[in-house]
Structure 1
Amino acid sequence: MDVSIGDKQFSAHALRAAVLGEVHARPFTPLESPRRILHFAFDTAGERAKGDRAAFTNFCRARGLEPLKDGAKQHRVLLGGATLRWEQHSEFTTYTWELPSDGKTPFYPAGASLAEPMAALPQPGPLIVALDLHLMPEQEPRIAPERLFDRASLAVAENAEGDAVFATDFKADASGFVRILVIDRRLGAERAGALVQRLIEVETYRTLALLGLPEAQRLAPSIARIEQRLMEVTEEMRGTEKLIDNHRLLDELTALAAELEAGAAASLFRFGASRAYNEIVQLRLQTIGERAVEGFPTWTSFLARRMAPAMRTCITTEERQANLSQKLARAANLLRTRVDVELERQNRDLLKSMNARTRLQIRLQTTVEGLSVAAISYYVVGLFGHVLDGLHGAGVRFNTNIATALFVPVAVLAIWWTLRRIRRRHISGGGGD
């Protein structure tokens, strides 16, 4: 969406239109009392979202309804006397049906009998929320909420201006719907639509936020077992000195850390989403601005008593994972240091042993070299003696004994010098291949 000023046009950022449109993506729908709202939320994480979009596109095309635009996250169509609003979120999709009502008897007829149009749509994923909201004008005699809901779980409140009363027990009825009754005193269509949408969002995001609790309960035994084993391993570390024992403990700590990180990675999104959804619930309740109705808890106080502990459990589990991960890392680093020190000690002892062996080999080599000089010299002198005997037999006159005696030191020195030179060439690497 470019901007023109006079003859000059400014090119817009590629995401400017999307950012501007996001603010108006889900406007409040004006609602005239009486009205019946059936709201469904399905888990469409991952590839389910594509299948859901395709199914809804086919649903609109088959009935000649306004087609769904490419990339649109919400769509509203008129279907007979009802209105269907489709919205796709990051991990769930909602279908909200706005149906006419006679406004005489609350929740009559039953929500299940009014939900037949949903049967024409394939289920996009597991059902998360099924909500039946009845918007009714105030009438005489006044409707008593405690006659419609479970008194033990009933939460009733007025909006900030006292123009409406809304009540629910947050329980599913026989058909599986959570019911909400809204009494319209003097809201008007615009404010009624805003209040109804916020109440629907409170119930939807409340349910989604609580999805983190089963995950926390699933991880709790594993975390407790890892904590217990870490305590045992650290206690055992105090009495171990052998390298093989330290290696065994280090391998066990590594396995515990891998198990913990696998659980933390699997629950990272769920716990983060639960925190975000819980914040949305609190913001919606603050926006409504509840006023207490005598004798009943408000939605905020009821959820604070029932929902807040579940959120604290999720947060505590996430903190336990983080703290335990740090403790495992510290214990593993300590063991790794001990293993490294032990290996260095062994390497030092090995080098000492190698040095001693080298010195012994050098001494032995020197001894062998001396013996080799003597032995070679003996054979060379013997050969020289045979040569002299041959020459003497041929008539050359000289004293063979004296000549042999004089040759002995010459031969010894020559052989010693030759062997020494050969050894130096090998040591210096000059001996070739």
Structure 2
Amino acid sequence: MPEFTDHPLRYQLSNELHARPFPTAHAPGRAVYLVVRKENHAASRDKSEDLAHLIDLLDRYGAAHPQPGATHHSAQIGKHNLKWESHTEVVTYSVFMDGLGERPFDPADFDVFPKDWLASAPGQRVTSALVRVETPPEEERLSHALQEWFVPESLAVSHVLEGAAIVAGDFRIDPAGHVRFAVFPGEGTGASRVGRILQRICEIELYKSLSMLGFARSRELGPVLGALDDRLSDLMNRMTDETVPADETLQALLAISAELEAQSATSSFRFGATGAYEAIVLQRIEMLRESHFNGRQSWHEFMIRRYDPAMRTVKSTERRLANMAERAMRASELLRTRIEVERSAQNQSQLEAMNKRAELQLRLQETVEGLSVVAISYYAVSLAGYLAYPFGKSLGISKEWVLAGLTLPVVLLVAWALHRMRSRLGAQH
């Protein structure tokens, strides 16, 4: 009996669900977060370069290497815990440290990544963040700290997970080049739950930054689409001008259509990824289950005021690009129809001219046939006369009467023979 077998990917796909566990973090503590992305063709990059760069960092700390082809890895680097992940477009490095350091959001914490190692990265920094984790101080001291650490007009603070912690951030880049976040776990909030909060904060920053690449692309496309829109509108107005050659207008429309398709091809992945990243950002914020902290704006409200307009711009640009391509296609189809109608009218005129020429040829042919009957009959009567002269002389009929008697039968015979010949030729065609 054949054995019952497993699908070859069964264990791999099942393990993938558990491949990226949440980190654990204790209070007081801090975290450093780094996102690296290749400038061009990030999704199709050579991921072995990312692994080689990770191994270089691990070797500097004498840490164990990841498995070949790994997409995630955790290791101890010195006194700190490193978590590395490979995503579709980026790689992320999260380093978790114990204690609060010498001062809040100390740029020296980022020195866990050596400068020469950062310079050799196979990509560019998309974002980096410093996260401070400490038990919440008294309310007055907490409010003072938030005012000191963050930009008040951008500060978003809220209770999360039914009061399990307070999270704060302003999503601004500080003078050292990092975004700042603060987490204040409540009493009884375990290290695993703090780790999940940290992970969600980092994911919000990651996918927010990646989705803003679509906003940058939409801003680049704005002037390009504006110029193309003006050209397209001008060409559509020219379509109603009968003095402008339709072929010339069609060629210009096809050129615009080709340019729009090229822009759509180069932007489709970016806009599609932006939509997916936006959904993840909103989902991660929803998972925090926020409630207001002292009447301040929540993270969700911050995203509605600051982030949502940018995403709406991306969607508007995507729709505009698609609508312009559709307009150009419809205009081209209308112009093709007009050209086909004009060509049909020209063909009809040519057919009518051909019919007239055929009628003239037929009349000329009939005239030629009549003349041919006369010419052939003339020679036939002459020949027949030579044959009939002896008989007419013996009967006492003069030469003139012999020719007169032969003329009518010969003419009829020649006419009948030519008619029969023409009928046979017509039947063959």
Counterparts in 2 of 1:386-425, with a 5 A limit? 401-409=400-408, 411-425=410-424
Counterpart of 2:47, as a letter, is K
1:427 maps to 426
1:160 Cα deviation from its structure 2 partner? 3.1
1:192 Cα deviation from its structure 2 partner? 0.8
The answer to whether the 8 A contact 1:30-1:192 is kept is yes
1:22 maps to 16
Tell me, yes or no, if structure 1 residue 48 matches structure 2 residue 15: no
1:209 Cα deviation from its structure 2 partner? 1.0
Instruction: Say what the alpha-carbon RMSD is for the aligned residues.
Output: 3.4
Q: 1:226-265 CA distances to partner (integer Å, 9 max, x unpaired)?
A: 4334444444434x346x6333333333333332222222
Counterpart of 1:177, as a letter, is H
Work out the percentage of aligned pairs sharing the same amino acid.
36
Counterparts in 2 of 1:315-334, with a 5 A limit? 315-334=315-334
The answer to whether the 8 A contact 1:32-1:192 is kept is yes
1:277 maps to 277
Q: Out of 74, 83, 86, which is 2:84 matched to?
A: 86
Q: Please report the TM-score for the alignment, with normalisation by the length of structure 2.
A: 0.84
Q: What secondary structure does 1:285 align onto? A: helix
2:360 maps to 360
1:153 maps to 154
1:22 Cα deviation from its structure 2 partner? 2.8
Q: What secondary structure does 2:296 align onto? A: coil
2:345 maps to 345
Counterpart of 2:78, as a letter, is G
Counterpart of 1:88, as a letter, is S
The answer to whether the 8 A contact 1:38-1:115 is kept is no
Cα distance change, pair 102–127 in 1 and its aligned pair in 2 (3 A): closer
Tell me, yes or no, if structure 1 residue 162 matches structure 2 residue 196: no
Q: 1:308-349 CA distances to partner (integer Å, 9 max, x unpaired)?
A: 100111111122223333333333333333332232222222
| Aligned equivalents of 1:176, 1:405: Cα separation in 2 | 125
Counterpart of 2:197, as a letter, is L
Q: Please report the TM-score for the alignment, with normalisation by the length of structure 1.
A: 0.83
| Aligned equivalents of 2:383, 2:114: Cα separation in 1 | 121
Q: Out of 59, 71, 74, which is 1:73 matched to?
A: 71
Q: What secondary structure does 1:182 align onto? A: strand
Counterpart of 1:276, as a letter, is A
Counterparts in 2 of 1:6-17, with a 5 A limit? 10-17=4-11
Q: Out of 190, 194, 197, which is 2:196 matched to?
A: 194
1:299 Cα deviation from its structure 2 partner? 1.9
Counterpart of 1:24, as a letter, is H
| Aligned equivalents of 1:401, 1:415: Cα separation in 2 | 21
1:108 maps to 106
Tell me, yes or no, if structure 1 residue 126 matches structure 2 residue 124: yes
Counterparts in 2 of 1:174-323, with a 5 A limit? 174-186=175-187, 187-238=189-240, 240-241=241-242, 245-294=245-294, 296-323=296-323
Counterpart of 1:169, as a letter, is D
Q: 1:175-210 CA distances to partner (integer Å, 9 max, x unpaired)?
A: 322222223333221111000000000100111111
Counterpart of 1:196, as a letter, is L
| Aligned equivalents of 2:48, 2:320: Cα separation in 1 | 38
The answer to whether the 8 A contact 1:55-1:122 is kept is no
Counterpart of 2:372, as a letter, is S
Which 10-residue stretch deviates more, 271-280 or 107-116? 107-116
Counterpart of 1:354, as a letter, is M
The answer to whether the 8 A contact 1:135-1:181 is kept is yes
1:99 maps to 97
Counterpart of 2:153, as a letter, is A
Counterpart of 2:79, as a letter, is G
Cα distance change, pair 388–51 in 1 and its aligned pair in 2 (3 A): farther
The answer to whether the 8 A contact 1:112-1:175 is kept is no
Unaligned runs of 5+ in 2: none
Q: What secondary structure does 1:197 align onto? A: helix
Q: What secondary structure does 1:325 align onto? A: helix
Which 10-residue stretch deviates more, 203-212 or 125-134? 125-134
| Aligned equivalents of 1:114, 1:22: Cα separation in 2 | 29
Q: What secondary structure does 2:163 align onto? A: coil
Q: What secondary structure does 2:245 align onto? A: helix
1:4 maps to none
How many pairs align?
Answer: 419
Counterpart of 1:195, as a letter, is I
1:34 maps to 28
| Aligned equivalents of 2:17, 2:202: Cα separation in 1 | 19
Q: 1:283-311 CA distances to partner (integer Å, 9 max, x unpaired)?
A: 11111122323263222212211111001
Counterpart of 1:427, as a letter, is G
| Aligned equivalents of 1:57, 1:176: Cα separation in 2 | 22
The answer to whether the 8 A contact 1:208-1:277 is kept is yes
The answer to whether the 8 A contact 1:60-1:68 is kept is no
1:28 Cα deviation from its structure 2 partner? 0.5
